[in-house]
Amino acid sequence: MSKRTDRELVDAAREGDSEAFGVLMRRHQKRIYRLALHLLRDSAEAEDATQETFVRAYGALDRFDGRSEAFTWIYRIAVNLSLNVLRARKPSRKAFSSDDPRLEGVLIETRAGSASPLGDTENRELGRALCEGMDSLSDTLRATLILVGVDGLSHAQAGEVLGCPEGTVAWRVHEARKKLKAFLVERGLIVRGEEGAA
């Protein structure tokens, strides 16, 4: 049996085929979890948000009009739910902690022209700096950068998720990179003279 497309699975789920929705969920749950993890920076909350995303998507299947990809539609629900969680958080909660789940499993860092090995400590330091830099961005810029930079969505797909034109996505990614670089310059991780090259 050939692999069914997302659209076919959604159509089947609308007809009451819960197994089809299970296939759709297993196909996309990793990406949704990764998105929620980067937005929420908390494994438990990301797990809850992922589950809630699929439950809400199932409840809204009749309202999926098919004008966008099914996974971008689910992404949009995930972003909305994650933002709701962030807004409900206590403001005193620390944005970044040393046991940030995003830093788990940092093993490999690529670097051209390096003559000396980079150990785990340096990799973790890079990851930590990037996480802190991303946390310093606004929700809008951070979500856009995560969708495009981390999750690898195209600008068109990110535009579908965020409900904005591709040009806006491109501008947000550019702004996010610029601010991220300024953050790293401020931390002394890159030299100041390179700031304009971003």
Partner 1 sequence: MSERRSSPDWGQNLEAALGSFPFPERDWEKDALAVEARLPQAGPTEAALLGAPLPSEPGEPNAPLSATATPVTHSGVRPQSLADMARRSVERKQGSEREMARESLALAAKRPSAVEVQALREVMNNKLAAAPPNAALVNAGAASNAHAARGVRVQGGAAQVPTRAKAPWSQVGLAAAGVALAAGVLFWLRQPGPMPPASTSESVLSSAQKTTAAAARANSVAPSAGQPNAAQAAAAQASAPTGVNPDTLPESEPAPRAHDKAVAGNAHAPAPSAPASGPRPAKIELEDEPERPLASAVPGRIDAAVPQALLADPALRPADSTGGAVPAKPSSGAVQAALGAVMSGARHCVAAEGAPSSALVVFGSDGRVQSVSVSGSAAGKPSGECIQAQLARARVQPFAASSFSVSATVRPD
Site for partner 1 in 14-53 (CB under 8 A): 18, 21-22, 25-26, 29-30, 33-34, 37-38, 43, 47, 50-51
Q: Please say which residue, 92 or 115, places its beta carbon nearer to partner 1.
A: 115
- Which residue type, as a one-letter code, is found at position 57? A
For residue 55, give the nearest of 22, 16, 31 by alpha carbon: 22
Q: Please say which residue, 91 or 188, places its beta carbon nearer to partner 1.
A: 188
Q: Please say which residue, 66 or 93, places its beta carbon nearer to partner 1.
A: 66
By CB under 8 A, the residues from 63 to 92 that bind partner 1 are 63, 65, 67-69, 72-73, 76-77, 79-81, 83
Binding flag, residue 4, partner 1 (CB under 8 A): no
Applying CB under 8 A, among 126, 135, 136, 182 the residue interacting with partner 1 is 126
CA distance 83 to 157: 19
- Which residue type, as a one-letter code, is found at position 92? S
Applying CB under 8 A, among 14, 97, 138, 186 the residue interacting with partner 1 is 138
- Which residue type, as a one-letter code, is found at position 155? H
CA distance 158 to 79: 11
| N-to-C CA span, the chain | 48
Minimum distance of partner 1 from residue 69's CB (angstroms): 7
Applying CB under 8 A, among 6, 11, 125, 132 the residue interacting with partner 1 is 125
Applying CB under 8 A, among 9, 10, 70, 157 the residue interacting with partner 1 is 157
Residue 136, number of CB atoms within 10 A of its CB: 16
For residue 31, give the nearest of 68, 71, 60, 4 by alpha carbon: 71
Q: Please say which residue, 10 or 144, places its beta carbon nearer to partner 1.
A: 144
HSE value, Cβ hemisphere, 13 Å, CA-based, for 117 = 5
